[in-house]
C-alpha cells in the first residue's frame, strides 16, 4: 500500500498482516465517534499554544532486502502474470459457494502463466529421475559412456576444452545461484526475527495514539474550564482591573494639576517662611533703630545744654551743625504686611490636605467600581457557571474515550495473542531456516564436486598420455564430476518440488497481495461494498459521503487529524458547539445595564482660588525700591564730623567744665557712630540681602499661581465633562477583553480540533509496517530463495551433461585407442625435359 513508494521513509516492519488489518478496521470504526472541544485562549495580547503531540517510537529497521534479486524476481513474475489485479474474479469466488465451470475456467485463464510454469516444473520432476534411472541403467550396461573406452581423434583436445569451459561456466552460474540462496535465506531469517520487535513498536504507537487522542480532547476541554475560570477571576477582580484603567485615563490630566498644586503649596510655605524671616529682621532692626534714636536724642540734648551755657564761647557756631544731627529710624515696607496676610491665608487653606483628599478620592475608584458592579458580577459569574456546566455535558456526550478503551482492549488481546504464538513461530522459523540451509548445502555440495573435478582433472591430465595410464589425480577429477552429476540427478527433482511449492505460494502472494497493496488496489478492493459485512464506514457513522479505507489511509499517510480523516464535520456542528455568543451576549447585556457613577470632586474651591489670586496680586504689587532707598540713605549718616567739631570747640574753651563736657559729648557721638557701624549697618545689609532674595520668590509665586489656576481649571473641566464617558469607555474595554477570551478561545479550539487533534499518522505507519516487512522483506526474500533454487535446478541439466561428457576425458580408461598422426607418402615421378 505504498502509494508514494519512491518518497517513502526508511522501511518499517511488523508481522501478522491479517491481524493488523483487522485491528486497523476496528480502530477506524472506533475513531468515527471522535468529537472535540477547545483549549484556553488568552486576551487579545496572548498567542494560542499549539497542542502537544505525543512521541512515537521509531519503527525503522535494518534493510534486509535481497538487492538486485527483488527486481529480477518481480520482472519474472510480471512476465508469468501480466494480468491486472482480478478484482471481479475474486468477488465471484467470494460470493459464489458453488463454483461453476465458467468461474473455474476464468481462474485457470488468469493463472495460465503459473500453470505453464507448474507444468514445466512437473515435467522436470517427472523426467529428471526417469532420465537419471535410464542413464544409470545404460551406463551399467556399458552404453551411454559406460564403456571405459575413449576414441582418440585429432579434435579430442578441442572437444575437451570446449566441454571444460562449458562445465566451468555452468558451475559458476550454479554457484552464483547458490550464493543467492544463502543470502535470501538469511534475509528471510532476519526479517522474521525483527518482525516481533517492529510489530510491538507499531502496536505501541497505536496504543499511544489511542491514549493520547482522548487526552488531547480532555486538554482542550480543560482549557475551556481555564478560560471560564480566568474570566471569573477577572470579574471578581473587576475593581482593581477596571478601576485602575479608569484611574489611568484621569492621571494624564489630573497628575499635572495635582503636581502644580503641590509645587504651589511648597512655594507658598517657603514664601511664608521668607516673609516671617523678613518681618523678624525688620522688627530686630526697628528695635536697634529705636535705641539709636534714643541715644542720639539724649546726646543731642546734652550738647544743646552745654552750648547754651554763657561760659561757652563760640558755641553758637555749632548749632547749625547740631541741627543736622537727625536719624530717620522709620524703615518700613507698607505692602509687606498685606502680602504676609495673603500668604498666611493660603497657608491656612492647607493645600496639601486638599491634594490628599483628591488622591484619596481617586484611590477609592476601584472600591467604588467593585461596589457598583457587585450585582452584575454575580449575574455574569452565574452565566459562566452555566457555560461550564454545558461544556461538561458536551464532554460527557462524547464517547471517544469509551470507544478507544474498547479498541485498546482489542489491541491488548492482539498483543497477548501475538506473544502466545511467537514461540511457535520462532520454532517454525528455525526449522524452515535449517531445511533451507540443508538445501543450500546440497547445492553447494554439487558445486564443490564440479569444481574439484574441474580443478583436479586438468591438474593431473597429460594430454599425450595413454587414456589407460592417466594419473590418479585426473581420474579423481573425473570421479568428482560424476559424483556432481549423480548428486544432481538424485536431488534435482526433489528440489524442484520445493521450487514449485514456494513459487506458487510466493508468486501468488506477490501478485495477489503485495503488488495491489503497493499500488493501493488492495484497499480499493476491500472497500468494495458488501465484500466485508459492517465495513460501510460512511453510513455506519451517519455520514453523507462514502467514507472508505482508501481515503482514510491516504489522509492518515499525510498525518491528517481525525476531523479531516473521518469527515466529522458531517456529524458535529463545530460552529454551534463553540458558539459562545449566547453567553457573551447575556454578559454584555448585564454590563450595558450597569451604571458606575463616580461622585464629582472639586480640586480647588472658589475661596482658595480667590486667596491664590490675592497672593498673586500682592506679589505683583510688591516693590522693594523704597526700602532699598531708605537703607541707602541711612548708611550715609556720619556723626564723626560733628564729634570732630565738638573736639575743636572744646579746645577753644577756657572753662574746664565746658571743655570736659564737649569732649565727653564728642566721645558719645563717636560711640554712637561706632554702634551704627557695628550693629545697625550689618542689620541693614542683611535686610537688604533678604529683600533681594525675596524678590525673585515673589515674582515666581505670581507665575506659579497663574499656572496652577490654569492647570487646575483645565483638569476640573476635564473631570466635569469626561468622567462619565471615561467610565463607559473603560467598562466597554474591560468587557471586550473578557469576551475576547471566549472568541479567541473558540477560534483556537476550532483550529486545534480541525488541524491538530488525533493526527492518525501512526495508523498508516502500522499498515505500512505490515506491508514493508511482509512484502518488501519476507515475500521478496522467499521469492528470491525459490528463484535462486530454481535457477540452480535449471542449470543442473547442462551441468549434468557437461560433467558426464567431460569426466571421460579425465577418468582412466580400460581400453586403449592409439591415434596415428603419420600420413602415407606417395612419390610422384618428376617430369624430365629434353633440350635439343
Is it the case that residue 245 has pLDDT exceeding 80?
A: no
Of the chain, the percentage scoring pLDDT greater than 70 comes to: 74
Closest CA to 198 of 759, 782, 766: 766
Select the highest-mean-pLDDT range: 351-355, 755-759, 809-813.
755-759
Q: For the chain, state the CA radius of gyration.
A: 63
**Structure confidence at residue 121 (pLDDT):** 92
Do residues 555 and 548 lie in contact, with contact meaning Cβ atoms separated by under 8 Å?
no
pLDDT level of residue 635 (50, 70, 90 thresholds): low
What's 373's DSSP letter? T
Do residues 350 and 289 lie in contact, with contact meaning Cβ atoms separated by under 8 Å?
no
For range 347-351, the mean pLDDT: 72
Q: How does 291-310 read in b/e, with b if 16+ C-beta sit within 10 Å?
A: ebeebbeebbeebeebbeee
What's 633's DSSP letter? H
**Structure confidence at residue 168 (pLDDT):** 94
Cell of 521: 488496489
pLDDT level of residue 83 (50, 70, 90 thresholds): confident
**Structure confidence at residue 790 (pLDDT):** 92
Q: What would the pLDDT profile of 646-671 be if each residue is shown by its tens digit?
A: 777 777 777 777 788 778 877 887 88
For range 108-133, the mean pLDDT: 90
Residue 574 to residue 228: CA distance in whole angstroms: 19
**Structure confidence at residue 23 (pLDDT):** 37
Cα–Cα distances in angstroms (integers) from residue 558 to residues 2, 9, 698, in the given order:
12, 12, 85
Which parts of 376-524 are beta strand (E)?
Answer: none
**Structure confidence at residue 407 (pLDDT):** 74
Which position has the grid cell 484611574? 247
Cα–Cα distances in angstroms (integers) from residue 508 to residues 77, 112, 450, 504, 526, in the given order:
9, 12, 35, 6, 18
**Structure confidence at residue 594 (pLDDT):** 60
**Structure confidence at residue 735 (pLDDT):** 75
Do residues 751 and 580 lie in contact, with contact meaning Cβ atoms separated by under 8 Å?
no
Phi, psi torsion values for 149, nearest 5 degrees: -140, 135
pLDDT level of residue 125 (50, 70, 90 thresholds): very high
Q: What would the pLDDT profile of 480-529 be if each residue is shown by its tens digit?
A: 988 999 899 889 999 999 999 999 999 999 999 988 888 888 888 887 77
**Structure confidence at residue 444 (pLDDT):** 94
Of the chain, the percentage scoring pLDDT greater than 90 comes to: 11
Is it the case that residue 595 has pLDDT exceeding 70?
A: no
Q: What would the pLDDT profile of 395-429 be if each residue is shown by its tens digit?
A: 555 555 666 677 778 778 877 888 888 889 889 88
Cβ-based neighbours of 598, under 8 Å, separated by 6 or more: 246, 365, 368, 723, 727
For range 16-43, the mean pLDDT: 36
For range 689-696, the mean pLDDT: 70
Cell of 48: 494560542
For range 106-127, the mean pLDDT: 90
Residue 6 to residue 390: CA distance in whole angstroms: 49
Is it the case that residue 26 has pLDDT exceeding 90?
A: no
Residue 152 to residue 650: CA distance in whole angstroms: 193
Closest CA to 224 of 466, 580, 572, 530: 580
Do residues 206 and 22 lie in contact, with contact meaning Cβ atoms separated by under 8 Å?
no
Distance of CA 365 to the CA centre of its chain: 43
Q: What would the pLDDT profile of 177-203 be if each residue is shown by its tens digit?
A: 999 999 999 888 888 888 888 877 878
Q: How many residues does the chain have?
A: 836
Cβ-based neighbours of 592, under 8 Å, separated by 6 or more: none
For range 206-222, the mean pLDDT: 77
Phi, psi torsion values for 327, nearest 5 degrees: -120, 115
Cα–Cα distances in angstroms (integers) from residue 158 to residues 163, 478, 594, in the given order:
9, 18, 119
Report the interhelical angle of 112-140 vs 472-509 (nearest 10°): 160
Residue 230 to residue 208: CA distance in whole angstroms: 31
Residue 471 to residue 568: CA distance in whole angstroms: 88
pLDDT level of residue 14 (50, 70, 90 thresholds): very low
For residue 12, the cross-strand partners are 60
Residue 573 to residue 812: CA distance in whole angstroms: 95
Mean pLDDT, the chain, as a whole number? 74
For range 242-246, the mean pLDDT: 75
Cβ–Cβ contacts within 10 Å for residue 417, how many?
12
What pTM did the predictor assign? Answer: 0.64
Closest CA to 369 of 228, 230, 236: 236
For residue 60, the cross-strand partners are 12
Do residues 187 and 65 lie in contact, with contact meaning Cβ atoms separated by under 8 Å?
yes
pLDDT level of residue 90 (50, 70, 90 thresholds): confident
For range 385-392, the mean pLDDT: 68
For range 703-729, the mean pLDDT: 75
Q: What would the pLDDT profile of 540-561 be if each residue is shown by its tens digit?
A: 666 677 777 888 888 888 888 8
Do residues 612 and 346 lie in contact, with contact meaning Cβ atoms separated by under 8 Å?
yes
**Structure confidence at residue 824 (pLDDT):** 37
For range 106-135, the mean pLDDT: 89
Is it the case that residue 711 has pLDDT exceeding 60?
A: yes
Residue 15 to residue 473: CA distance in whole angstroms: 53
**Structure confidence at residue 505 (pLDDT):** 93
Cell of 132: 537419471
Cell of 550: 482508501
Is it the case that residue 731 has pLDDT exceeding 90?
A: no
Task: Classify 712 in phi/psi space as left (phi over 0), alpha (psi -120 to 50) or beta.
Answer: alpha
**Structure confidence at residue 142 (pLDDT):** 61
Percent of residues in the chain assigned helix, strand, coil, to nearest 5: 75, 0, 25
Cβ-based neighbours of 225, under 8 Å, separated by 6 or more: 388, 391
pLDDT level of residue 826 (50, 70, 90 thresholds): very low
**Structure confidence at residue 828 (pLDDT):** 38
**Structure confidence at residue 154 (pLDDT):** 61
**Structure confidence at residue 439 (pLDDT):** 93
**Structure confidence at residue 257 (pLDDT):** 74
Residue 565 to residue 554: CA distance in whole angstroms: 9
Q: What would the pLDDT profile of 461-487 be if each residue is shown by its tens digit?
A: 776 666 676 778 888 988 898 899 989
Domains belonging to the chain, first-starting first, are 10-46+401-416+520-566 (no CATH), 238-372+600-737 (1.20.58)
Cα–Cα distances in angstroms (integers) from residue 612 to residues 110, 261, 265, 343, 736, in the given order:
115, 11, 11, 8, 45
Which position has the grid cell 535449517? 434
**822 against 437, higher pLDDT:** 437
**Structure confidence at residue 29 (pLDDT):** 35
Q: What would the pLDDT profile of 760-802 be if each residue is shown by its tens digit?
A: 888 888 888 888 888 888 888 899 999 999 999 999 999 998 9
Which position has the grid cell 557721638? 669
**637 against 107, higher pLDDT:** 107
Phi, psi torsion values for 167, nearest 5 degrees: -65, -40
Residue 436 to residue 180: CA distance in whole angstroms: 12
Amino acid at each position: 500500500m505504498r502509494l508514494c513508494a519512491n518518497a517513502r521513509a526508511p522501511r518499517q516492519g511488523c508481522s501478522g498482516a491479517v491481524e493488523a488489518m483487522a485491528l486497523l478496521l476496528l480502530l477506524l470504526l472506533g475513531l468515527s465517534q471522535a468529537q472535540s472541544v477547545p483549549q484556553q485562549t488568552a486576551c487579545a495580547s496572548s498567542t494560542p499554544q499549539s497542542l502537544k503531540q505525543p512521541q512515537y517510537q521509531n519503527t525503522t529497521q535494518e534493510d534486509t532486502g535481497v538487492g538486485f534479486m527483488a527486481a529480477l524476481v518481480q520482472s519474472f513474475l510480471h512476465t508469468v502474470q501480466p494480468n491486472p489485479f482480478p478484482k471481479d474474479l475474486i468477488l465471484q469466488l467470494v460470493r459464489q459457494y458453488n463454483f461453476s465451470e465458467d468461474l473455474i475456467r476464468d481462474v485457470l485463464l488468469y493463472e495460465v502463466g503459473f500453470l505453464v510454469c507448474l507444468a514445466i516444473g512437473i515435467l522436470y520432476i517427472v523426467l529428471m529421475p526417469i532420465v537419471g534411472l535410464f542413464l544409470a541403467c545404460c551406463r551399467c550396461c556399458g552404453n551411454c559412456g559406460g564403456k571405459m573406452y575413449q576414441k582418440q581423434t585429432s579434435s579430442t583436445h578441442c572437444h575437451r576444452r570446449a566441454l571444460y569451459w562449458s562445465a566451468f561456466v555452468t558451475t559458476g552460474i550454479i554457484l552464483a545461484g547458490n550464493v543467492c540462496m544463502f543470502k535470501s535465506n538469511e534475509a528471510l531469517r532476519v526479517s522474521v526475527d525483527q518482525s516481533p520487535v517492529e510489530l510491538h513498536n507499531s502496536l505501541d504507537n497505536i496504543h499511544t495514539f489511542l491514549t493520547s487522542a482522548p487526552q488531547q480532547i480532555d486538554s482542550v476541554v480543560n482549557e475551556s474550564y481555564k478560560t471560564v475560570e480566568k474570566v471569573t477571576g477577572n470579574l471578581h477582580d473587576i475593581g482593581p482591573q477596571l478601576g485602575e484603567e479608569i484611574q489611568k485615563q484621569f492621571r494624564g490630566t489630573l497628575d499635572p494639576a495635582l503636581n502644580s498644586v503641590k509645587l504651589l503649596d511648597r512655594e507658598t510655605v517657603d514664601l511664608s517662611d521668607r516673609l516671617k524671616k523678613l518681618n523678624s529682621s525688620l522688627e530686630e532692626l526697628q528695635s536697634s533703630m529705636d535705641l539709636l534714636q534714643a541715644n542720639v536724642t539724649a546726646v543731642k540734648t546734652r550738647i544743646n545744654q552745654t552750648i547754651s551755657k554763657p561760659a561757652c564761647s563760640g558755641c553758637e557756631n555749632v548749632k547749625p551743625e547740631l541741627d543736622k544731627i537727625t536719624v530717620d529710624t522709620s524703615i518700613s515696607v507698607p505692602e509687606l504686611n498685606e502680602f504676609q496676610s495673603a500668604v498666611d491665608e493660603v497657608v491656612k487653606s492647607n493645600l496639601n490636605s486638599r491634594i490628599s483628599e483628591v488622591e484619596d478620592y481617586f484611590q477609592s475608584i476601584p472600591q467604588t467600581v467593585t461596589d457598583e458592579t457587585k450585582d452584575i458580577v454575580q449575574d455574569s459569574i452565574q452565566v459562566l457557571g452555566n457555560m461550564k456546566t454545558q461544556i461538561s455535558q458536551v464532554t460527557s456526550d462524547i464517547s471517544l474515550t469509551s470507544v478507544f478503551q474498547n479498541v485498546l482492549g482489542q489491541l491488548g488481546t492482539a498483543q497477548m495473542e501475538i506473544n502466545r504464538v511467537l514461540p511457535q513461530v520462532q520454532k517454525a522459523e528455525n526449522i524452515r531456516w535449517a531445511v533451507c540451509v540443508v538445501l543450500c548445502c546440497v547445492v553447494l555440495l554439487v558445486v564443490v564436486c564440479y569444481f574439484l573435478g574441474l580443478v583436479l582433472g586438468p591438474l593431473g591430465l597429460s594430454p599425450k598420455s595413454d587414456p589407460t595410464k592417466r594419473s590418479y589425480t585426473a581420474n579423481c577429477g573425473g570421479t568428482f564430476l560424476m559424483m556432481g552429476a549423480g548428486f544432481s540427478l538424485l536431488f534435482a527433482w526433489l528440489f524442484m518440488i520445493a521450487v514449485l511449492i514456494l513459487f506458487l505460494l510466493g508468486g501468488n502472494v506477490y501478485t495477489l497481495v503485495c503488488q495491489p497493496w503497493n499500488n493501493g488496489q488492495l484497499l480499493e478492493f476491500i472497500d468494495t461494498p458488501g465484500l466485508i459485512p459492517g465495513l460501510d464506514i460512511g453510513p455506519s457513522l451517519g455520514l453523507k459521503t462514502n467514507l472508505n479505507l482508501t481515503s482514510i489511509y491516504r489522509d492518515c499517510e499525510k498525518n491528517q487529524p481525525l476531523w479531516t480523516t473521518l469527515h466529522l464535520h458531517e456529524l458535529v456542528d463545530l460552529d454551534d458547539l463553540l458558539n459562545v455568543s449566547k453567553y457573551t451576549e447575556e454578559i454584555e447585556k448585564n454590563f450595558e445595564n450597569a451604571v458606575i457613577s463616580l461622585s464629582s470632586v472639586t480640586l480647588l474651591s472658589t475661596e482658595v482660588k480667590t486667596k491664590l489670586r490675592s497672593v498673586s496680586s500682592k506679589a505683583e504689587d510688591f516693590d522693594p525700591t523704597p526700602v532699598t532707598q531708605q537703607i541707602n540713605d541711612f548708611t550715609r549718616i556720619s556723626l564723626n564730623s560733628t564729634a570732630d567739631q565738638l573736639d575743636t570747640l572744646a579746645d577753644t574753651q577756657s572753662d574746664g567744665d565746658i571743655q570736659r563736657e564737649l569732649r565727653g559729648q564728642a566721645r558719645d557721638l563717636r560711640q554712637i557712630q561706632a554702634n551704627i557701624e557695628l550693629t545697625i549697618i550689618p542689620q541693614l545689609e542683611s535686610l537688604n540681602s533678604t529683600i533681594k532674595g525675596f524678590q525673585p520668590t515673589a515674582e515666581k509665586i505670581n507665575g506659579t499661581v497663574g499656572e496652577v489656576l490654569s492647570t487646575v481649571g483645565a483638569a476640573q473641566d476635564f473631570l466635569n465633562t469626561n468622567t462619565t464617558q471615561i467610565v463607559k469607555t473603560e467598562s466597554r474595554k474591560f468587557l471586550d477583553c473578557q469576551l475576547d477570551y471566549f472568541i479567541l478561545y473558540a477560534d483556537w479550539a476550532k483550529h486545534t480540533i480541525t488541524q491538530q487533534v488525533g493526527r492518525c499518522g501512526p495508523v498508516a505507519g502500522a499498515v505500512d509496517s505490515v506491508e514493508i516487512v511482509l512484502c518488501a522483506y519476507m515475500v521478496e526474500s522467499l521469492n528470491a530463495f525459490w528463484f535462486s533454487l530454481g535457477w540452480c535446478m535449471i542449470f543442473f541439466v547442462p551441468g549434468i551433461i557437461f560433467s558426464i561428457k567431460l569426466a571421460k576425458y579425465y577418468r582412466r580408461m580400460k581400453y586403449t585407442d592409439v591415434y596415428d598422426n603419420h600420413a602415407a607418402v606417395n612419390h610422384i615421378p618428376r617430369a624430365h625435359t629434353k633440350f635439343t
